[in-house]
Chains A and B, each alone.
Chain A
């Protein structure tokens, strides 16, 4: 019996030391990497890890501006031809140089339909890519495409020779890039461990080893942070954030992102077909209360269905005021008092927001019925015919491109699977905006587009969403609006 107790105590004592040495970083992610091949999935956990293994053609700085990375400079020779000058001092982890061949190979690989990349839709405006010099690549787009640079921020460059040698399957398990970290081990479903690369061209990576652990449960991730088992985590809910505020050893890092929370309103079917009903809905939603009560202040109000972090944002198109009295009057005028509106949703969306909307609309005479299905079924309905899509639903939209073209075009342009609106004037504005390269002229088109959206109300911007990270106090990092997770930008305070 005594020996049993002794054995127990020894087991406890053998618990690994909890204080992290200062040259490692442990990250708790809500899930494991799906694939290490940067071109085979569209998944936050995956790119949180592999963006540290690969470099991209261009990237965004802390303020959100697109800046050089592998490409040092670029210029348009005509509206559909862009020439990129590349760095010549970048090497992959096996020592081989990164050449224009690798850039062209990466582009062709991801735009090849047979490769089945889920990211194809982001790059398929690229018609062709060729090597046009010892350090130069030229891209052609199908038509003038102003969002090209924003999309290229997401293109990781893979090594042609290595990928062709080992094949796609093996490359997925044993990736090799030119980034600040190389993959040491990947235990699927458990964790991936990265080692820093000596002689990395941007400078010395801040940590010798970075471990990404898959921990699905939010409170468990917080417990890991509190005990020092992890140094940083992402994906905290506002309630989680409030619960750790008092812990002196940790710091909350909230950042306003390009993600916009919005309410979709069907203009083609159901009682919301009537514009007056839609405008009434816009005036019945108390967005300030949603921000303070549901989001605990971790959100910013927006006047349109777009955030200030996106190009195309205009501050001077006013949102609808919160005016329940006017809303009730409009609904009576439309003869819609007591109308039943179906609100379709899935567990992926905040249930409390659904119920808040239901209550607020109930106050002005609209009866909202919430219908919950699983995510694929919800998407199927939402993207289906106007009759199938219900009257209302909520969403949190990010194109990961910080451009209005990636937001209001798919959401509201007629013919898009998400759009339940048919407004030729709006279509003309967003069509023009996506084929003009001049930002000032694009902005004018978007201003007019948002004015139409304000009048027609096919949707309401509810708030600019925050991403909330939790880290140990000694970690220095500024998160960005595009939710990039570049370990190169982090360091331990001395």
Chain B
């Protein structure tokens, strides 16, 4: 088990390194941020001078080696736009992203899984059709639209919730709903399929024949077995959520990683983008490893095989 995990971590490090390298070169090959930093009237000489001061006139390989060497010293560099340490800038945003991801996950799990189970258990009924429509809506509404709709309804018209910002628990509600809606749909459908699959198995028929109620059968046996594919999806979705919900963060003025990423890419603040890529890769890999461990706990067959 440990050897397996160590192998996975090794693969992960190689993958992260590869991604960082690709991002490094792609960003720099399409131009440097000097043109974006200076006022409109700056002359060619002034731009060249600033470019030289910032080190962007060095050959790409030289810049790459310098970056790797800094990384080896755990130095993530300085943001060009904010002239402050990248590590601090990114770290400040992480709690907001985690809060939003948690909120969205609660919405997604809290609504998605029960909906999926209900759709499977009461298959063919009016309830299932209503839930299916609800799930489809969650999947189809683009967040830049659902976001502003939520703000206009609950913020402006009803005045129940704050229209923007991240300063209270109330301000987490609408962004979580907007962000969680799509994930909720995914969970609902995965859960429905997994539960339907389990319900058709022999052990369920046997249990029911012995007198077990449907409710007990589902809660005690089916859910546990159905959770394996759901756990896979959950791991990937958490990775997605933590990677930054750019649109939701922009619409709700939620200061997370997503907003920072899009602003840094637009202003070509290279080192911030790279630090975010590093963070996101680590999160994805971590989530997948956690999923692996979770399997081993849920499914004894995996544990015993190793």
Report which A residues bind B (CB closer than 8 A).
11-12, 14-16, 18, 28, 31-32, 34-35, 37, 40-43, 113-114, 116, 118-122, 124, 168-169, 172-173, 187-191, 213-217, 219-221, 223-224, 226-227, 229, 374-377, 379-380, 383, 397-400, 406, 409-410, 416-417
Contact = CB atoms under 8 A, between A and B. Distances in A.
Contacts of B259: 189, 216
Contacts, number: 160
Interface string B24-54: 0000001111011111111110110110011
Contacts of B42: 121
Contacts of A32: 255
B164 A121 contact: no
A410 B40 contact: yes
B89 A12 contact: no
Contact of B250 (A114, A173, A217, A416): A217
A154 B260 CA distance: 28
Contacts of A121: 38-39, 41-43, 46
B54 A116 contact: yes
14 contacts: A35-B83, A43-B81, A121-B39, A121-B43, A122-B39, A122-B41, A172-B84, A215-B165, A220-B163, A229-B163, A375-B36, A380-B35, A383-B35, A399-B40
B187 interface: no
A118 B53 CA distance: 11
Contacts of A40: 83
A120 B162 CA distance: 41
B170 interface: yes
A146 to B, nearest CB: 15
Interface string B151-166: 1100110011111111
Contact of B31 (A124, A376, A399, A416): A376
Contacts of A380: 31, 35
Contacts of B93: 189
A417 B47 CA distance: 10
Nearest to A399: B41
Given A223-B163, A226-B156, 10 more contacts: A14-B170, A35-B83, A40-B83, A116-B54, A121-B39, A121-B46, A187-B92, A223-B152, A229-B164, A399-B39
B213 interface: no
B110 to A, nearest CB: 12
A220 B33 contact: no
A214 B167 CA distance: 12
Given A41-B81, A217-B250, A376-B30, A12 B35 contact: no
Contact of A118 (B30, B37, B152): B37
B293 interface: no
B268 interface: yes
Given A220-B163, A226-B156, A227-B155, A11 B36 contact: no
Contacts of A214: 253, 255
A113 B83 CA distance: 16
Contact of A219 (B36, B53, B148, B159): B148
A37 B170 contact: no
A417 B44 contact: yes
Given A34-B81, A417-B44, A217 B251 contact: yes
A300 B101 CA distance: 47
Contacts of B53: 113-114, 116
